[in-house]
Structure 1
Amino acid sequence: MLVTRQLVFKRFWYPVIPISQLEDTPQSFVLLGEKLVVWLDLKGQPIAARDRCCHRSAQLSKGKVTEGNIACPYHGWEFDETGRCVNVPQISDKAQIPKTYKIQTYQCQERYGYAWVCLSDDPIQDIPQIPEASQSDYRLIPEFYETWNCAGLRVMENELDLAHPTYVHTTTFGSTEHPIPDELDIKDTEYGIKVQAKLGVVNPELQRQNLNMEDEQTHRTLDMDWFMPFTCLLRINYPNGLTHIVVNTATPISDSSSQIVQFCLRNDTEEETKAADAVAFDRQVTLEDKEILESTNYDVPLDIKKEQQMMTDKPGILIRHKISALLKKHGETEQTNE
């Protein structure tokens, strides 16, 4: 499946840029092949628009923000949060600026420290709700923001694949004694699927330090949610009462590349576990995934008969079925390179 050729994916929300990167200058981003410019208005709210001036097509992301408006670097035209041109230096009377002077804007919201964008005026579902993000006993820690050369669908399936840790995560938590989960329960939901599982793991020194635990061997109780199409939330519940929540979105840049946006939430304090240490361990895990995922074919077939399957692939199989149903519901057929 080639995501840029499936129009329905434009009707979902994706995190594109950390708000912190927008404080001083506009930024560019490519979402589903569409070049965007993102900036902050006077209220500090993110605004997203097509990264082309309507005058001579210069990239607005190379310009600057003036009183909350994006100013073109070529001739200084300024556009507000609605895309309307509000200042043309070459026209002294602003009332004379033609209404046709405008740029395409898109829906954009701040959530969890990122600017989220939807390329459609009619989103299929809201930005994923994470209750813990508003709870005082949890802290939110940004983790990774980088491009991976793989399909978002591969990343989502990998998040819910409990057979790969034994072989991929050999230096972090994978246990050779537990090649499959001890428990695995999968439920269909309106937003995607929910997976609950129990997996035997090992805890290297850094992880034992982060968890304030002495045991090298233990079990992870996992509560995972896949939010269609490319966001996964993983709650890891540890025996000592700690909950470590990893939120991962594979924002689609193109058919073959994804912007990996990952942050975590934890119900402990900086004094108990330094944020840098928590990120360091998750970073090791993520790099192990990246090496494998970037070796896979980005044109993921939705037809499960085109790849071989096994018992632990059940979450991924359901994901493919649900995306196939989504395409069919909106009058689309799977687009591939074949």
Structure 2
Amino acid sequence: MLITKQAVFKRFWYPIVPMEMLKEGPQPFTLMGESIVLWADNEGAPRAAIDRCCHRMAKLSIGWVDTDGCITCPYHGWRFDGSGQCRSVPQIGDKVPNHQLKIKAYLCEEKYGYAWVCLSDDPISGIPEFEEAGDPDFRQVFEFYETWDCASMRLMENSFDAAHIAFVHKDSFGDINKPVPELGKLYKTENGSFYMLNKNRVDNTKVDRSVTGEDDDVTYRTTRTDYYPPVIRKSKIHYPGGLIHSIVTCATPIADGTMQLCQWVYRNDTEEDVPAEKVVAFDRIVTIEDRHILESCDPDVPIDQSRRAELHMASDRPGMLIRNILMELLKENGEQEVYGDHFIQYETPENIEYRKNEVDPVKMPEETGKPASSPVDKSV
């Protein structure tokens, strides 16, 4: 799937830029292939619009923000408010500009320290709510804001992939001598998505133990990972000693093969317990390892499993479920998957029965029910 070619994904909210950056002036960004500009108005509220002046198509992002909160085009000084309306044209003096002088503005809100944007006036859902936000027992640590050369969907699937830990993270908390993953259990959520519960054995010898709060060489952590379609997940990690390390990862799509990583973490400790610098360094190891692999993967993620463009194993159940959710989303909105023509279709006899299993959606109970059953792995 080429995400920028699917119109429905323009109807979701994405974190674009930290609010702190808007204090420096207008900021350019490419969201789903569209060039936009963000700025803070005179009240400090984030605003977003197309990054082109309607006069001679100059980039507004190289302009400036006036004291009344309007963004000014650096070419001829035309000024636009947060709704996109042109408020003044210096060349006509004090006359009110024609109401038709307007640029496309986008929905823009501040939340969790970021400016969020939706490219559509009709969002499918709101910005996700995270229970830790505003909870006095938790602090928020900003971790990463950086561009990766990989598809947003690759990072999302990787977040639920238990099998990669032993290999990709062998130098941090994984154990390459124990390649058989401990599979999580899947549960349906009210919004039509899912979360995964699992308990994993992790190597505690290669990391800063003050960050995990555990002294033993080997520890176990219980994790609930929620998926917020299309490109957000929250992984809430509980350590035996009571520490909670809850990571929010957003893979904002820039282009089909490029994304902006926006990541922060909530922790139920204090800066005095563990400095933010150590927390960031702890998670930095993991992101470096993941990035190395993910940037090598084909960005065209096949979500229609009947195409047989990729083969799967039992630990891929969450990724298959993500693909099913997105495929249903396309169908509900009258779209078909748009993809490249470079895939091989696997139809060897020994895989035919397995193919049938792949096509069937993973069946899950309601949130209060039993763990999900999967046609791929009947044991969970």
TM over 0.5: yes
In 1: Cα distance, 2:289 partner to 2:95 partner: 56
Instruction: Give the corresponding residue for 1:298.
Output: 299
In 1: Cα distance, 2:135 partner to 2:181 partner: 30
The one-letter code of the counterpart of 1:137 is: D
Query: Where does 1:110-121 land on structure 2 (aligned, <5 Å)?
Result: 110-121=110-121
Matched, 1:76 2:77: yes
In 2: Cα distance, 1:161 partner to 1:183 partner: 9
1:114/1:191 CA distance change after superposition, 3 Å: farther
The one-letter code of the counterpart of 1:204 is: T
Conserved 8 A contact 1:86-1:94? no
- Please identify which structure carries the higher strand content: 1
Query: Where does 1:3-22 land on structure 2 (aligned, <5 Å)?
Result: 3-22=3-22
The one-letter code of the counterpart of 1:334 is: E
- CA deviations on 1:25-52 (whole Å, 9 max, x unpaired) are 1000000000000000111110000000
Conserved 8 A contact 2:213-2:243? no
CA deviation after TM superposition for structure 1 residue 197, in Å: 0.6
SS of 2:277 mapped into structure 1? helix
The root-mean-square deviation of aligned C-alpha atoms, in Å, is 1.1
In 2: Cα distance, 1:65 partner to 1:84 partner: 14
The one-letter code of the counterpart of 1:255 is: D
In 2: Cα distance, 1:115 partner to 1:94 partner: 33
Instruction: Give the corresponding residue for 2:92.
Output: 91
CA deviation after TM superposition for structure 1 residue 183, in Å: 5.0
Matched, 1:220 2:187: no
Conserved 8 A contact 1:162-1:199? no
Instruction: Give the corresponding residue for 1:53.
Output: 53
Q: Which moved more, 1:243-252 or 1:305-314?
A: 305-314
TM-score in terms of structure 1 length: 0.97
**Runs of 5+ consecutive residues of structure 1 not aligned to the other structure:** none
The one-letter code of the counterpart of 2:89 is: V
Instruction: Give the corresponding residue for 1:237.
Output: 238
SS of 1:133 mapped into structure 2? coil
Which structure's CA Rg is the greater one? 2
TM-score in terms of structure 2 length: 0.87
Instruction: Give the corresponding residue for 2:157.
Output: 157
Fraction of identical pairs, as percent: 49
CA deviation after TM superposition for structure 1 residue 181, in Å: 4.2
Instruction: Give the corresponding residue for 1:132.
Output: 132
Instruction: Give the corresponding residue for 1:318.
Output: 321
Instruction: Give the corresponding residue for 1:172.
Output: 172
Instruction: Give the corresponding residue for 2:376.
Output: none
Conserved 8 A contact 2:237-2:245? yes
SS of 2:208 mapped into structure 1? helix
Conserved 8 A contact 1:181-1:197? no
In 1: Cα distance, 2:107 partner to 2:153 partner: 24
**Runs of 5+ consecutive residues of structure 2 not aligned to the other structure:** 342-380
- CA deviations on 1:99-135 (whole Å, 9 max, x unpaired) are 1111100000011111100000111111111010110
Conserved 8 A contact 1:175-1:200? no
Aligned residues: 337
Instruction: Give the corresponding residue for 1:270.
Output: 271
Instruction: Give the corresponding residue for 1:328.
Output: 331
The one-letter code of the counterpart of 1:200 is: R
CA deviation after TM superposition for structure 1 residue 87, in Å: 1.4
